[in-house]
Amino acid sequence: MTRTWDIFCSVVDNYGDIGVCWRLARQLSSEPGHSVRLWVDNLESFRRLCPAVDPAQALQRIKGVEVRRWGATFPRAEPADIVVEGFGARLPDAWLEAMAARLPHPVWINLEYLSAESWVEGCHGLPSPHPSLPLVKHFFFPGFTAATGGLLMEDGLARTRDAFQGDPAALAAFWRSLGLASPGDSALRVSLFCYRNAALAALVEAWSCDPSPVVCIVPEGTALTQLSHIAGRRIEPGSRIKLGGLSIAAIPFLDLEQYDRLLWACDFNWVRGEDSFVRAQLAARPLVWQAYPQQEGAHLRKTSAFLERYASALDPAARRVQCALIEAWNRESADVGRHWVALRSHRNALAAHARDWAGNLAAGGSLAIKLAEFCEDRLK
Ligand code: TRH
């Protein structure tokens, strides 16, 4: 049955919130064919991932989704069958009152952040009644097991990725579109997307001394700013610089589709936060993840929980270095340099493992489909 959805996205900082909400909106609209309205409080950030967005428009339709500006003055509108707040985005009081007045009341979902920690299974789907209105909010947790909400992965993703990765002409055309020649077979291609990280200088040093050439492709942003400091000169998107055996290729910030292709085309991907982290896993290529830094080391617990799952099927030696590298990167320790050197000899094992891992992710289920089913059960 076709349902109507309101998804509210408040862009706190960075791009992960809108990346996730936009993917969810698109998939609900294209796969179960639902009617989706996406409310976004920062259309400029949204445009970086999706150039079709016009920040001047309060209402626009993009890829089947109605995109609405969520500004200080909220337009009068009837709440949909299902209302999703992305990551605790606080709904306007007038909207909550309209939800309470609508019969039947909408199903109200808070889409939570992803974590591999085991407590997620116990909290997924829990209800929380509103203190004064006749509304119940449910917490929907993404995750890696069938007892969680699963991960955002659109239908046909693996097929499209495999076709791209297996097509030398498509790969060459992609590199050309970024202004890069196809790297030679011996060059290792890494993409870099990270937060401020004091360990980057040690990583750059290790890459520049690597026995085979390394090409680091870095979209505009924090990583590029840090590389400029390390190199001692401003690196603009479009420029290429060499530091020993390392070539740094600075590129513009890509749209979501092109960023996926970058992840598919590289041999290793440095990713961060939530959405690039999931897409890198779905790219079926080895990854190094920097979790969103949090107080009291919460991000380190998240990192360990992920590694416990991700690295368990690797042979012990490869597991040790894979874990050591990601842990050092998250602790911003200069040890990343020596762990990178150690990791290089496990390259084939890590590549095979990344493929298996990507294939097994489907077992946790597709988040958009699970969410639609969860809501349907509550609408009946
Ligand atoms: O931008 P992030 O740091 O977002 C974070 C996380 O979501 C974190 O959980 C949250 O608490 C915090 O924001 C507020 O990292 P993330 O999640 O990887 O999102 C980046 C998005 O940007 C993702 O959708 C991929 C996209 N992207 C592009 O479209 N093009 C690019 O060139 C790059 C580098 C990223």
Encoding tokens for residue 29? Answer: 């609209």
- Ligand 1 atom nearest the C-alpha of 251 is 32
Q: Which residues 6+ apart lie within 8 Å of 46 measured at CB? A: 11, 18, 22, 40, 53, 55, 67
- Tell me: pLDDT of 318 over 80: yes
pLDDT band for position 271 (cuts 50, 70, 90): very high
Distance, in Å, from the CA atom of 131 to the CA atom of 128, rounded to the nearest integer, reads: 9
Verify whether ligand 1 is closer than 6 Å to residue 273 (CB atom).
yes
- Tell me: pLDDT of 185 over 80: no
Q: What is the structure's pLDDT at 141?
A: 98
Encoding tokens for residue 171? Answer: 């790969």
With the most atoms of ligand 1 within 8 angstroms of its CB, the residue from 11, 13, 14 to mutate is 14
- Do 343 and 374 fall into the same domain? no
The question of whether 275 is a catalytic residue gets the answer no
SS3 104: coil
- Do 201 and 284 fall into the same domain? yes
* CATH code where residue 59 lies: 3.40.50
Q: What is the structure's pLDDT at 351?
A: 98
Residues above pLDDT 90, as percent of the chain: 92
Q: What is the structure's pLDDT at 121?
A: 97
Number of folded domains in the chain? 2
- Do 304 and 186 fall into the same domain? yes
- Do 191 and 114 fall into the same domain? no
Q: What is the structure's pLDDT at 74?
A: 79
- Do 190 and 92 fall into the same domain? no
Q: What spacing in Å lies between the alpha carbon of 213 and ligand 1's midpoint?
A: 28
Distance, in Å, from the CA atom of 328 to the CA atom of 322, rounded to the nearest integer, reads: 10
Q: What is the structure's pLDDT at 12?
A: 82
- Do 69 and 164 fall into the same domain? no
- Tell me: pLDDT of 81 over 90: yes
Domain that holds residue 209: 157-362
- Do 125 and 222 fall into the same domain? no
The question of whether 274 is a catalytic residue gets the answer yes
Tell me if 141 sits within 8 A of 123, measured CB to CB.
yes
Verify whether ligand 1 is closer than 6 Å to residue 139 (CB atom).
no
Q: What is the mean pLDDT of residues 340-361?
A: 96
- Do 216 and 340 fall into the same domain? yes
Q: What is the structure's pLDDT at 380?
A: 82
- Do 179 and 138 fall into the same domain? no
- Do 65 and 165 fall into the same domain? no
- Do 196 and 115 fall into the same domain? no
* CATH code where residue 171 lies: 3.40.50.2000
Q: What is the structure's pLDDT at 101?
A: 96
With the most atoms of ligand 1 within 8 angstroms of its CB, the residue from 190, 275, 303 to mutate is 275
- Do 186 and 252 fall into the same domain? yes
198-239: pLDDT as tens digits: 999 999 999 999 998 999 999 999 999 999 999 999 999 999
